[in-house]
Structure 1
Amino acid sequence: MNNRFQAKISFSGNKIRKMAGAGLALALAFSVLSGCSGSKASDNEQKVLRVGMLYGGYDDSYFRQQYTDAYELTHPNVDIEIVPAIDQSIYRYSNGTEQIEQPDPLESMKKIMTGSNPVDVIVADTSTLKQLIQENMLKQLDPLIQEDKFDTSDFVPTVIDGLKDIGEGNLYALAPTFSSSALFYNKNLFQSAGVEPPHDGMTWDEVFELARRVSKGEGKNRVYGLSFSTYMGSDPYWDIQNYTSTLQLRYFDDKAETMTVDTPQWEKVWSTMSKLYMDKVLPDGNQMMNEMNQGGTTAVSPVNQDLFLSSRVAMVVGYNSYVNDVTDANNNASKIKNFKAVDWDVVTMPTHPEKPGVGGNAYLSNAFAINSSAPNADTAWDFVKFQNSEEWAKIKSRSSYEMVARKSYIKPKDGQDYNIQAFYALKPVSPVNNSDDKLYTEKPGLSSITSIGQKYFKEVLDNKKTPAEALKEWQQKGNTMLQAIKNNPKTMFQEDGTPFVPQDNGAAVGVKG
C-alpha cells in the first residue's frame, strides 16, 4: 500500500471520527442542555443571532461544532450567523504577486459591531476585548449575572481573574475554555541527582538554582536543568520570551519611534539568560541540532527530538496539551526503541517577584462578550450563558487541547494522578495598554526589529559581546530602522536590517539608511 493511499485512509478515518464525535456531542448536548438555558430566549419567535469573530470566511464548521450547533439544536427558534471581522479569503486567493494591505483587527471588529446590522455577540481574545471595553463597546455582564443568579464561583482564577483584570474589576466577557502552561519535571532525574523536585509557587530565580543543581554530564549525555521548549532545535532568543512575557518588556515606545532595549532591566534579563545558556544549564537548540547532525543520528521521532521525553532535561515549560504527548509516549513505551516511560508531574509556572501570582502563557482566546449595541441582547446573553454553563462544561471537559473554565470538571487525563491545579492557579498576564497590534499592521517592518535581536543575543552567547554592548548596538540599529519606517511606513527589511519598500507589483525599491 503506498504512502499516499495510506494518508488518504488516515484522513478519511479522522474525518469520520470527528463527525461521529460531533454527533455524539450534539446528542449529549440535547439531552443534558435542553432545559438549562434561561427563559428570555425560549419564546417561539424566530430569531437570527449574529456572532462576530476576528477571522473566518472560508470554513466555519469547526467553530460551529464547538460552540453553536448544540445551541441551535436546543433552541430551534434561533438561527446563528457567523460574521468574520476579517475575511481570510483575501489570503486564500492571493497569487502572491501583489502586496495585500493588512486589515486592522480592532477596526475590523468595530466595523461589524456598528452600522445598520451589528453583531450581537463577539468572540475574541483578551487583548481585543480590553480595547473594546475601553471604548464602551461591550455590555457589562455583572448585572445580568446577578439578576439570573448565574454562578461564576466555580471558574478557575486563570479565567475569572484574567477577565476581571481587563475590565478593571468588572466582567464584560466569559470564557468557557482556556489554555495555559506549567512546569513539567522528571521525577527520576531529580531523584538520581539527589535534589528535591520543584514545587508550586517558586520564583524564576529559585527554579534557576534548582536547574543548576540537577544539571550534570557532558556532550550527548548532558542532562540540562531547564528548557523553555520541549523541541530540541528551538532557538534561545525566542525561548526566553517565556521568561520575559510576564515582565512585559518593550522593544520600542508606544509610537514606535524610539527603541527601549538599552535599559538596566533588559541587561539584567540578557545577563541572567546568557549565563544559564553558557553554563549549559539551559540547552542551546542550535548547538544540540549541530551535535545531533554531526553524530550521524538518522532516526527522527517525536521522542528523540523532544528534550523532556528523551530525558535530556529535568524541567520544561509545556502547555496543558503537552500532557497528551507525554501520556501517549508512556502508553507506547514498549513500541519505542531506546525509550523508557517518564515518571513526571507538574508545578505552577515560576513567577517574578515584581508580578506575584501572575504566570506566563495563559490564553483566553475564545471569550464571549455582548455588543453594547446588540439588537438581540436577551438572546445574546442566553447564548453566552449556555456556552459557560456548568452542564456544557461537563460535556466539554474531555477536550484534548483546551481546559474548561469550571474547575469542578477539570480532571487529570485518563485517570492519572498529577498536579492539574498547576495549570489554573495563576492569573494570566494582562494585555498591555498599547496599540502594538495596530502598529504592526500599519508598519509591518516592525517585526524585523524584533527579529534582529536574535543576532545580537547570539553574539552574547558566542562571547563576542557583553549583554550591555549587544543591547546598545541593537538600540542603535533599531532606531535607524524605526527612522526608515517613520519616513515610509511600508518599509520592510532584509535579514541584516537593510531597508527596502515593497511595491504593489512585487518589486522593491531600496531605501538609503
Structure 2
Amino acid sequence: MRAKTKVRKWLITALTLTMVFPILAACTNNTNQESKQEQVLRIGVVYGGFDDSYFRQQFTDAYELTHKNVKIEIVPAINYMDQQFEEPDKNGMRKEPDRLEAIKKIMEGDNPVDVVVTDVSQFRKLARDGMLTSLDPRIQQDQLNTDDFVPAVIDGLKSMGDGTLYGLSPTFMSSVILYNKKIFTDAGVEPPKDNMTWDELFNLASRVSTGEGKDRVFGFNFERYPSDGGFNSLMSNYTDPLNLRFVDDTKEKLLVNSPQWEKSWSQITKLLNEKVMPSSEDMNVVYDENSAPGPFDYDFFISGRLAMVVGDYGYINGDLSNVMKNAAKIKNFKPFEWDVVTIPSHPEAEGVSGYVQLSNIFSINQKAPNPEVAWDFVQFLNGEDWSKLRSRSSYELVSRKSFINPPAGSNYNIGAFYNVKPSTPTGSSMNDLMMEGNGNYWQLIELGRTEFQEVVKGSKSIAEALKSWETKGNELLQQIKNNPDGGGIMPRIYGG
C-alpha cells in the first residue's frame, strides 16, 4: 500500500512539473533574458517586515524564476518589526501609523519603490494625487487584452482613476447570493435571479419564511450564522454602493442622522422584526432546545434553515461543497440542490455590488527608477500564463474571465461573481476611519450598534436612535480631536 501511495505521489509531482515548467518557460520575457546585468525591482507593500514568503509565493516567485537577472525587494511602508518597539501610550496602545502617508514616503525620497501594492482606498487617493503612472499607453503598445478582464475589476479600476487605468489587480474576491432550491420549490415561489434589486430579494425572502422556533426557515441573511443582526453589513457592504457618508471630511460631525440612513435601517430592522432575517436570539434557540446540536446547526444555510445567504467563493468551494459531497456520511443530514445569483443592487446604483474586494492592486510609481521592469512585472502578473496557474485557487478568483470556471465536479452560475460593478467610494470609507485615531473611532461603531439593537428590541424609534447616535458620536469625535492619543476617552471596545 505504501509503495502504491509513493508511486501515486511521484506521478502527481511529475505531472505537475510537466505542466508548470513549460508555462513558466513561456512566461519568460526575452528582453530581460537578453540583458545579463542584474536589475533590482523594489515593490512597496503596506505592511511587512517579518516574513514576506507568503507574498512572494503568491506574486513574485514565478517572475524571479523566469527572469534570472531581476532581483525583487519587498519594501513595507509600515514595518511590524519596528512597531513592536514603539512605546505604548498611557492606555497601553501603540499609535497606528497613517497608511497613506507611509506609502507615499516609500514612493518618494532617494530610493523610491518601483511598484506599489494597495487596496481600493489607497489606490484611489494615490491616483488622485498624481503619484501613479497611467498604464493605458503601455497596454496599447503591448496589446494587453483588457477585454478579458471581468467588469468587476477593470471597470472599477477605471472608475477610480476617472477613466484612466493606473493599476491592475490580477485577483479579486467577490460574493454572491446562494439559494436553497428545495425551499423555493416547496413554497411554490420562483427562485431569485441575476440583477435583482434588494427590495425584490427581500420580497422573495418574506414569501419563503415559514415555521416557528427551531423549525423556523428564514428567508435571508447577510451571513450564514446569526450574529449582530446584520449591523456590520448594514454599515458597509449593503450601503457602500449608495456612498452614504458616515462622517464629514473634518471628522468632527457624524452624518448618520439622515433620511438615507433612516431608510436603510428601516429596511433591515423590518426584516428582523418579521423574522425574515435571523437574529442572535434565534441562534440561542438552537442550543437551548437541542442539548446536542448537530455539527452544522451553527450554519443556517447548510442546515436548511436559510433560503438565501451572502456567500463568498471560498465558502462555496470549502464548507458547502465538502458537506454536500460527504452528505451520506453525516448523520441526519439531508443534502439539497443550490445555485447562486448576483448580489442585488439599489435602484440608485444599478448593478453595483458592495461585496467586490480588490485588495492587491499593482501600480507603477510615477517616480519609479525602473519603470520598464516595473511594467514587465505588472504585465506578467496579469498575463494569461500566470492567470492560468493562479486560477486553481479555491478562495479567490483571477481577474481574467477565460480562467474562471467552477471547480471540477461543480456546476453553478459562476458568472454571478463577476457580472457586477464594484462600489467606488467618493469619500473616506468607514474602514478608512477605523484605521485612524489610535483605534478610538471603533467606539463610534459600537455606539451605533447599541442604538441599532434598541430599535430591534422596540425600545426606540429609528429616528430617536439615529439622533442619539449623532449626539453621542459628535461628543466622542470632539474628545478624539482634543485627545488624539486616547487620553480621557472611554476604553477601546472591540467587536460585538
Using structure 2 for the length normalisation, give the TM-score. 0.91
What does residue 55 of structure 1 align with? 47
Shift of 1:110: 0.8
Matches within 5 A, 1:68-83: 68-83=60-75
1:266 maps to 2:257: no
In 2, Cα distance between equivalents of 1:26 and 1:80: 24
What does residue 86 of structure 1 align with? 78
Query: What is the SS of the residue equivalent to 2:353?
Result: coil
In 2, Cα distance between equivalents of 1:174 and 1:22: 32
In 2, Cα distance between equivalents of 1:85 and 1:45: 28
Post-superposition CA distance 1:342-396 (Å, at most 9, x none): 3100000000001012111101111111111111111111111110001111111
1:477 maps to 2:453: no
In 2, Cα distance between equivalents of 1:133 and 1:470: 38
In 2, Cα distance between equivalents of 1:464 and 1:501: 26
1:315 maps to 2:300: no
Query: What is the SS of the residue equivalent to 1:127?
Result: helix
Shift of 1:167: 0.8
Letter in 2 for 1:46: E
Shift of 1:39: 4.0
Post-superposition CA distance 1:412-436 (Å, at most 9, x none): 1223211000000001111333386
In 2, Cα distance between equivalents of 1:439 and 1:347: 31
In 2, Cα distance between equivalents of 1:289 and 1:422: 29
1:461 maps to 2:456: yes
Retained in 2: the 8 A contact 1:30–1:74?
A: no
What does residue 115 of structure 1 align with? 109
What does residue 5 of structure 2 align with? none
Shift of 1:321: 1.3
What does residue 400 of structure 2 align with? 406
What does residue 215 of structure 1 align with? 209
In 1, Cα distance between equivalents of 2:223 and 2:183: 18
Retained in 2: the 8 A contact 1:30–1:73?
A: no
Letter in 2 for 1:445: N
Post-superposition CA distance 1:31-90 (Å, at most 9, x none): 213233544433221111111111111111111111111111111111111111111224
Retained in 2: the 8 A contact 1:443–1:485?
A: no
1:250 maps to 2:245: yes
Retained in 2: the 8 A contact 1:104–1:438?
A: no
Shift of 1:252: 1.8
Letter in 2 for 1:41: N
What does residue 181 of structure 1 align with? 175
What does residue 32 of structure 2 align with? 41
In 1, Cα distance between equivalents of 2:197 and 2:242: 13
Retained in 2: the 8 A contact 1:453–1:474?
A: yes
Letter in 1 for 2:347: P
Letter in 2 for 1:66: Q
Q: Which one is further off, 92-101 or 140-149?
A: 92-101
Matches within 5 A, 1:306-345: 306-324=299-317, 325-345=319-339
Change (3 A) 1:62 1:439: closer
5+ long unaligned stretches in structure 2: 1-8
Change (3 A) 1:424 1:170: same
Change (3 A) 1:271 1:184: same
1:381 maps to 2:372: no
Q: Which one is further off, 425-434 or 31-40?
A: 31-40
Shift of 1:289: 2.6
Letter in 2 for 1:320: Y
5+ long unaligned stretches in structure 1: 1-16, 494-498, 503-513
Change (3 A) 1:378 1:387: same
Query: What is the SS of the residue equivalent to 1:80?
Result: strand
Shift of 1:487: 2.0
Query: What is the SS of the residue equivalent to 2:186?
Result: helix
Retained in 2: the 8 A contact 1:333–1:339?
A: yes
Change (3 A) 1:243 1:434: closer
Shift of 1:203: 0.1
Query: What is the SS of the residue equivalent to 1:374?
Result: coil
Retained in 2: the 8 A contact 1:445–1:492?
A: no
Change (3 A) 1:46 1:30: farther
What does residue 3 of structure 2 align with? none
Aligned counterpart in structure 1 of residue 191 of structure 2, from 180, 190, 197: 197
In 1, Cα distance between equivalents of 2:398 and 2:51: 24
Aligned counterpart in structure 2 of residue 448 of structure 1, from 443, 452, 456: 443
Change (3 A) 1:109 1:358: same
Query: What is the SS of the residue equivalent to 1:173?
Result: coil
Change (3 A) 1:232 1:269: closer
Using structure 1 for the length normalisation, give the TM-score. 0.88
What does residue 349 of structure 1 align with? 343
Aligned counterpart in structure 2 of residue 425 of structure 1, from 419, 429, 449: 419
Retained in 2: the 8 A contact 1:444–1:490?
A: no
Letter in 1 for 2:27: C
- Over aligned residues, Cα RMSD in angstroms? 2.4
Query: What is the SS of the residue equivalent to 1:123?
Result: strand
Q: Which one is further off, 309-318 or 407-416?
A: 407-416
Q: Percent identity?
A: 49
Retained in 2: the 8 A contact 1:34–1:74?
A: yes
Change (3 A) 1:216 1:435: closer
